[in-house]
């Protein structure tokens, strides 16, 4: 099953650039052993509680320090893309929050990441190339003015690179900051798709506000069902809307928002046929990859090879790209199925 999961052509829709750095990439960026261990320290915790989620965010400082020059942002982006390609990801939506560094401002940061995406050469030895798109994030800890300026910059950059920038995300520590609906309405009016980190912690008022906005996808969607920190009203509304969920199993288990793999809320999504995709979130921080996430899904929820293929196939409909790209990807999936199933 591990080999099957590895070979499966996969779709990754929730991957943070700065959380996806492997040990090899961190080394290449000049990180010392101590800071690499610090970056991966959450994996060594013996016990996690919902408070562990708060410990996740300071770890990203290590990635930021390691990518404080344009050159390192470029190297990190290319390395992360190559890791996903090596893992047989055929379509990747990478996400990152624009920031300032030693020799770049937010706009140059976006330009550098896009240059790394566009320059990426297929050096994975695979015949399949990979399609790579970008989602730009708004940090929920930022105030309305900073978020407003950020969305204006994102809209400007989308005008310049419409073939790469496809969406906007709300990210950051869910125990801080808030969701400014107007910012995302403006992004939507300008042709950007919206995904929101949603219901990572119990916060029914905010989750309802997000549902009323009707994002194109949500990240995690943990505390919606009554058994998982949500309530009946939220679950009822969610079942009506059927917003696709980006599920990140290992991330939720390590951050303590899910009570082990078997206790993951994905079981309610499967049972109620709510659309979802399987994603890594921060493969470097949580020491995982997308193949591993598919394997864990099959192991803990009793899914067979065809179930996993179907999840991949149906994830194509959730991408933030054109119908033409969807058709192309479905063809890749169908061809693979014909070759790999009797
Ligand atoms: Zn995330």
Q: Which residues are tagged catalytic?
A: 200
Question: Average pLDDT per run of 10 along the chain, which is 342 residues long?
Answer: 96 98 95 89 75 78 94 97 96 98 98 95 70 97 97 98 98 94 98 97 96 98 95 97 97 91 96 97 96 97 97 98 97 95 81
Ligand 1 centre to CA of 187 (Å) is 19
pLDDT value, residue 125: 63
CA separation, residue 151 to residues 106, 165, 196, 206, 216 (Å)? 12, 13, 14, 20, 17
Write down the CATH superfamily of domain 2-340. Answer: Metal-dependent hydrolases (3.20.20.140)
Check residue 123 and give its pLDDT: 63
Q: Give me ligand 1 centre to Cα 245, in Å.
A: 12
Cα(222) to centroid(ligand 1), Å: 12
pLDDT of residue 71: 97
Tokens of 26: 């961190």
CA of 15 to the centre of ligand 1 (A): 7
pLDDT of residue 57: 78
- Enumerate residues with CB within 5 Å of ligand 1 (an ion): 281
**C-alpha 242 – ligand 1 centre gap (Å):** 20
Quote the ligand 1 centre to 252 CA distance (angstroms).
10
Predicted pLDDT of residue 339: 94
Query: Cα of 60 to ligand 1 centre, how many Å?
Result: 12
- Please tell me the distance between residue 170's alpha carbon and the centre of ligand 1 in angstroms: 9
The pLDDT assigned to 121 comes to: 76
Distance 250 CA to ligand 1 centre (A): 12
CA of 338 to the centre of ligand 1 (A): 33
174 close to 139: Cβ distance less than 8 angstroms: no
pTM of the model: 0.96
**Nearest of 173, 138, 170, 139 to residue 154 by alpha carbon:** 138
Give me Rg for the CA atoms of the chain: 19
User: What is the Å distance from ligand 1's center to 260 Cα?
Assistant: 18
How far apart are the C-alpha atoms of 339 and 213, rounded to whole Å?
42
């Amino acid at each position: 099953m591990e080999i099957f999961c590895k070979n499966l052509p996969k779709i990754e829709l929730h991957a943070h650039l700065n959380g996806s750095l492997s040990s090899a990439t961190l080394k290449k960026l000049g990180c010392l052993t101590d800071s690499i261990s610090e970056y991966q320290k959450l994996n060594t915790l013996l016990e996690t509680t919902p408070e562990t989620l708060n410990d996740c965010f300071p770890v990203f400082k290590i990635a930021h320090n390691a990518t404080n020059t344009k050159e390192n942002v470029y190297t990190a982006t290319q390395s992360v893309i190559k890791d996903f390609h090596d893992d047989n990801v055929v379509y990747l939506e990478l996400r990152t929050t624009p920031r300032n560094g030693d020799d770049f401002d937010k706009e140059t940061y976006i330009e550098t990441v896009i240059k790394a995406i566009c320059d990426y050469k297929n050096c994975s030895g695979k015949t399949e190339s990979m399609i790579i798109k970008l989602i730009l994030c708004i940090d929920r800890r930022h105030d309305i003015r900073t978020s407003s300026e950020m969305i204006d910059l994102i809209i400007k950059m989308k005008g310049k690179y419409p073939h790469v920038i496809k969406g906007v995300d709300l990210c950051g520590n869910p125990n801080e900051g808030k969701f400014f609906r107007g910012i995302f309405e403006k992004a939507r009016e300008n042709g950007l798709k919206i995904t929101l980190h949603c219901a990572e912690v119990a916060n029914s008022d905010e989750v309802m506000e997000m549902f009323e906005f009707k994002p194109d996808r949500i990240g995690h969607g943990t505390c919606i069902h009554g058994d998982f920190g949500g309530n009946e009203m939220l679950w009822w509304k969610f079942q009506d809307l059927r917003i696709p969920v980006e599920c990140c199993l290992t991330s939720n288990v390590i951050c303590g928002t899910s009570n082990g793999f078997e206790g993951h809320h994905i079981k309610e999504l499967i049972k109620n046929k709510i659309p979802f995709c399987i994603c890594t979130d921060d493969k470097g921080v949580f020491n995982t990859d997308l193949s591993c996430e598919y394997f864990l899904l099959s192991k803990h929820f009793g899914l067979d090879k065809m179930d996993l293929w179907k999840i991949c196939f149906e994830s194509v409909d959730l991408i933030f790209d054109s119908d033409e790209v969807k058709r192309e990807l479905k063809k890749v999936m169908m061809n693979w199925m014909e070759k790999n199933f009797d």
